[in-house]
Amino acid sequence: MLRLLFWIVLIFAAVWLWRKFKAPASSAQSHREQDAAPMVRCAHCGVHLPRDRALSLDKQWYCSQAHLEQGPGNSDR
C-alpha cells in the first residue's frame, strides 16, 4: 500500500512540474509574436523587411533609396 501511494505521489509531482515549466514557454512565445514588427515587400525587388526600416512612396514600400528612385520593378514575380 505504501509503494502504491509513493508512486501516485511521484507521478503527480512529475506532472505538476512538467506543467509548471511548460506554461511559461508558451506565454513567452506569444509575447514575442506580439512584439514582431510588421513586414512589407519592396515594390522593386520583392524583398521583405520591417516596415520601420522601409521607405514609402505612393503607397508602395522600398528597401533602399536606390530602389525608391528606380520605381516599381518587373511584375513577373
Beta carbons of 28 and 15 less than 8 angstroms apart: no
Euclidean distance between CA atoms 72 and 54, whole angstroms: 14
Model pLDDT, residue 40 = 95
Domain that holds residue 19: 1-36
Q: Do 32 and 44 fall within a single domain?
A: no
CA 47 from chain centre, in angstroms, equals 18
Are 12 and 45 in the same domain?
no
Q: What's the pLDDT at 35?
A: 77
- Report the phi/psi class of residue 5: left, alpha or beta, with left for phi > 0 and alpha for psi in -120 to 50: alpha
Q: Domains in the chain: how many in total?
A: 2
Q: What is the pTM of this model?
A: 0.52
43 and 76 both lie in a single domain: yes
Say yes or no: 19 and 30 in one domain. Answer: yes
11-68 pLDDT, tens digit per residue, is 999 999 999 888 765 555 566 667 788 999 999 999 999 999 999 998 999 999 999 9
